[in-house]
Structures are given as structure tokens and as C-alpha cells.
């Protein structure tokens, strides 16, 4: 096995890809719901229905795309060329999300459904899944993947900063209407396009396994799927990745409503988000110093801290200071998992090859992506469903007065949503044992591959 040590230039270039993806994903999982309900006037339950149904299609597209990438052959490799081929459609699809016509409710629903799926089900999947797979094709060294993941996740929040912290001020500057959202998203789309091209140019696929090449790597779909579902550490990585995504979705979606209707000032959200994100970036990068604990142990400690810190909100949910404190503690606690979540998936690739003699980088990332998208979609649908049941009033100008039942529902969602998520993370990590097994597994894989076996 080649001990591929990556330069910092390659690590930063790789991180640019996730920064680009998070410009769009940040908008979809946070402010898009607010745009639909408060600037286009679409009922919250309709928005939730579109997102929930779309996640089902999105999950299917992940598996299909995983199989496509596994079979892709080009002069740039298997995963890397998709960053080039899909960068322009991806940028265009992000802008189309915000050009909802002011027409009948049925036509608005259809437009939302088509553009949402074009962006997330097709374009985002065709970019993000090959991008994630690329990390395993750049190096097989677990410690290098840890560093690659840390740099990636230290940079990715900058995309969310653009998409979330800077969007509402720009929207207000451009006129605080739907056209302002289109102009703002157009700026973010151009930036995302440039970052994707940087990632494509500097990141190369260097991992080549002779035994895989000599056997032509034509694993039947049935065998590939069986190898995937019997890989227990794939399931662990899927849960951890999904909960990381749910954490961003729950807090990112409900906090704009919380600031607007509980604190009475929607401008506070940019302050909260910016503070939490900057801390998350710093703490994520500092996680490199905690790697000696093992990624499982440091993630478990962080999850316990985040859960304990979140309990502060129960003291006084109307206190801006306490809510800000929970966000600060959550950023520190989430940072270890955020830093190495994709390294968990990379290790699951090696474990799967060791256990089943089938190596499947893209399909494992595809399966994990299914979980994270369905998790985020289900969380969004549940939140909008709860708001609708509580009597939330949608509007086209964003100035509706909400009933007390809706305000109380916003508080309850913020109180209990993160608690459930952190409990799942803690349970999964408590059962995780691959860190201890990994060195022996890699030694055996090296011996097998030297003999021409997977």
C-alpha cells in the first residue's frame, strides 16, 4: 500500500469542494423554508411535503449515482470528472430554487417540486457523492484521511456563512423581496462554481489497487448491495453522518423562526449563526490535537458536552443569552464529529473490503448520503408539520403575527430536537469499536493485495 502523504495545498483545494457544496446545502437546509413561507407565501405543510417526498427520490439517486461512479472511466478517474461535468448545472439549479412564480398554489407546488429535485436529487448528488468518494481515492492512510476530513470540515462552514449569515442582510440590502433572494443566490452560485473548479484542478485520484484492476472490478449489483448492507461500520458511519446533518438542519431551520418570533428580532439569527460557525471552524481545526485520543473517543466526549450544554435552554427559553450559550457549547461539542465524520466513512470502505473482498468507495458514500439527506428531509418535514399543526401563519411579506401556540411549538422543537439527536450519537459511538481493529485490518489487506487478492 502506498503511503500517500497529501500536501496542504491539496488538502485546502479538497476543502474548497465542500465549501462550494455548503453554499447551496446551507440555503436548502436553513433559509429556503423561510423563503418559501415568508416571501412566496407557500403554506408550511406544503413546503414540508415537498421536502419529505423529494428526499425519497434523493435517496434513490444516491444509490444510482454511487453505482454510476463505480463504473465511470475517464482520463481524470472515476469521481473527479463529475466535479467538472456538473459544476455549471449545480450553480444554475441553486438560482432556480428562488424563482418560484407567483401563480396558483398547484403550479407553485409543481415548480417547487421540480426545481428542488433538480437541485438536490440530481445536481447536488452528482457533485457531492463523487466529491466525498474522491477522498478515499486520494489516500488509503487513515491518519491522512483524518487530516483531509478536518481541513474539509474546517472550510465547509464558510459556505454556510455565505449562505446563512450573509444572506439575510444582503436580501434586505437588495430590497427584501423575492428578487433580492434571486440576486443574492446568483452571487453565491458563481462563488460555488469557482470553488468546484479549483477542487477539480488540484485533487487527483492516486489510489490504485492492482488486484482490483486485474479483476476488472465488475462486481454485480446484487453482490455489491449485499456487501454494503452487511458492513456494520457502514451503518455506524451512516448514523453519525445523518445526525451531523440533522443537527445543522434542526438548529438552522428553527433558529430563524426562534429569533423572529420568540426574541422578536430576526436580525439576531445572523449574529447567532456567525458566532457558532466561527467557533465550529476553530474547534474543528483544533480537533487535530485531539486525534491521539482516537476519533471515536474524542467524538463521544464532544457529544456528551453538547448534550449537557443544550440543557441550558430549558432554564429560560426566552433568554437570548442562554440560547447563545447553548450555541457556543454546541459548536465546541459538535466540532470533533464534524471534523472526522468522513474519515469514519473512509474507514468503513477498508473494513468492507476486508470483510467481503469487495471494495466500494462510491457506493458506501452513496449509502451514507442517503441517510444524511433522508434525515435532513425528515427533520425539515417534521418541523414544518409541527408548525402547521400549531397554527403557523404563512405570508408573502414576512410580517404575519403568529399565534401563541405556534410560538410555543418553535420553542419545543428547539428544546427537544437536538436532545434526541445527541442521544443517538452518544449511543452509536459507545458501541463503535473499529478504531481498535483498524491497524490489524490494514495489515491483512496489504498481505492479501500483495497476493493479488482483494
CA distance 107 to 19: 33
pLDDT value of residue 311: 93
pLDDT value of residue 156: 86
Quick one: cell of 231? 458492513
pLDDT value of residue 354: 94
Work out the average pLDDT over 98-114: 93
What letter would DSSP give residue 43?
A: -
pLDDT value of residue 1: 44
pLDDT value of residue 212: 62
- Comparing 62 with 314, the larger pLDDT belongs to 314
Give the chain's mean pLDDT. Answer: 89
* pLDDT reading at 427 higher than 60: yes
Task: Report domain 9-202+219-450's class.
Answer: mainly alpha
CA distance 125 to 86: 10
* pLDDT reading at 398 higher than 70: no
Work out the average pLDDT over 386-398: 82
Domain spans of the chain, in order of start: 9-202+219-450
CA distance 352 to 231: 6
Chain segment 196-251, per-residue pLDDT in tens: 999 999 999 988 776 665 555 567 888 888 999 999 999 999 999 999 888 888 88
Chain segment 51-98, per-residue pLDDT in tens: 878 877 877 888 899 889 988 889 899 999 999 999 999 999 999 999
CA distance 25 to 114: 17
* pLDDT reading at 407 higher than 90: yes
Cβ of 410: how many Cβ atoms within 10 Å? 25
Percent with pLDDT over 70 in the chain: 96
* Total residue length of the chain: 454
The DSSP-derived string for 336-369 is HHHHHHHHHHHHHHHHHHHHHS---HHHHHHHHH
The pTM score is 0.77
Chain segment 137-157, per-residue pLDDT in tens: 998 888 888 899 999 988 987
| Band of residue 2 on the pLDDT scale cut at 50, 70, 90 | very low
| Band of residue 381 on the pLDDT scale cut at 50, 70, 90 | confident
Amino acid at each position: 500500500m502506498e503511503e500517500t502523504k497529501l500536501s496542504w495545498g491539496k488538502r485546502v483545494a479538497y476543502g474548497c469542494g465542500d465549501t462550494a457544496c455548503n453554499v447551496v446545502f446551507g440555503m436548502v437546509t436553513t433559509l429556503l423554508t423561510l423563503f418559501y413561507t415568508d416571501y412566496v407565501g407557500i403554506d408550511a405543510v406544503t413546503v414540508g411535503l415537498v421536502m419529505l417526498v423529494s428526499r425519497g427520490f434523493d435517496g434513490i439517486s444516491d444509490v444510482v449515482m454511487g453505482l454510476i461512479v463505480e463504473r465511470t472511466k475517464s482520463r481524470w478517474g472515476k469521481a473527479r470528472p463529475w466535479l467538472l461535468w456538473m459544476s455549471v448545472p449545480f450553480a444554475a439549479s441553486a438560482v432556480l430554487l428562488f424563482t418560484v412564480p407567483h401563480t396558483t398554489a398547484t403550479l407553485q407546488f409543481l415548480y417547487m417540486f421540480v426545481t428542488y429535485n433538480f437541485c438536490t436529487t440530481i445536481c447536488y448528488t452528482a457533485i457531492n457523492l463523487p466529491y466525498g468518494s474522491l477522498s478515499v481515492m486520494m489516500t488509503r492512510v487513515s491518519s491522512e484521511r483524518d487530516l483531509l476530513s478536518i481541513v474539509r470540515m474546517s472550510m465547509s462552514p464558510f459556505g454556510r456563512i455565505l449562505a446563512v449569515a450573509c444572506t439575510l442582510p444582503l436580501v434586505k440590502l437588495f430590497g427584501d423581496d423575492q428578487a433580492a433572494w434571486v440576486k443574492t443566490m446568483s452571487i453565491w452560485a458563481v462563488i460555488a462554481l469557482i470553488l468546484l473548479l479549483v477542487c477539480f484542478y488540484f485533487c487527483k485520484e492516486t489510489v490504485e489497487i492492482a488486484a482490483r484492476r486485474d479483476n476488472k472490478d465488475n462486481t454485480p449489483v446484487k453482490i455489491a448491495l449485499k456487501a454494503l448492507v452487511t458492513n456494520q461500520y457502514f451503518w455506524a458511519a451512516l448514523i453519525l453522518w445523518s445526525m451531523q446533518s440533522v443537527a445543522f438542519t434542526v438548529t438552522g431551520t428553527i433558529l430563524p423562526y426562534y429569533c423572529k418570533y420568540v426574541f422578536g428580532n430576526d436580525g439576531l439569527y445572523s449574529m447567532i449563526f456567525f458566532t457558532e460557525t466561527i467557533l465550529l471552524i476553530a474547534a474543528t481545526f483544533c480537533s487535530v490535537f485531539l486525534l491521539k485520543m482516537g476519533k471515536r473517543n474524542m467524538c463521544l466526549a464532544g457529544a456528551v458536552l453538547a448534550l449537557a450544554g443544550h440543557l441550558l435552554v430549558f432554564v429560560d427559553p426566552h433568554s437570548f443569552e442562554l440560547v447563545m450559550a447553548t450555541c457556543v457549547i454546541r459548536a465546541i461539542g459538535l466540532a470533533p464529529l464534524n471534523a472526522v465524520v468522513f474519515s469514519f466513512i473512509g474507514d468503513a470502505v477498508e473494513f468492507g473490503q476486508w470483510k467481503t473482498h469487495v471494495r466500494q468507495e462510491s457506493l458506501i458514500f452513496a449509502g451514507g448520503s442517503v441517510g444524511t439527506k433522508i434525515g435532513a428531509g425528515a427533520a425539515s418535514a417534521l418541523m414544518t408539520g409541527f408548525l402547521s399543526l400549531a397554527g403557523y401563519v404563512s405570508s408573502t411579506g414576512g410580517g404575519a403575527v403568529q399565534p401563541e401556540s405556534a410560538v410555543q411549538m418553535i420553542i419545543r422543537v428547539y428544546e427537544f430536537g437536538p436532545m434526541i439527536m445527541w442521544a443517538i450519537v452518544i449511543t452509536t459511538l459507545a458501541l463503535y469499536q473499529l478504531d481498535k481493529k483498524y491497524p490489524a485490518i490494514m495489515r491483512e489487506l496489504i498481505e492479501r493485495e500483495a497476493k493479488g487478492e482483494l
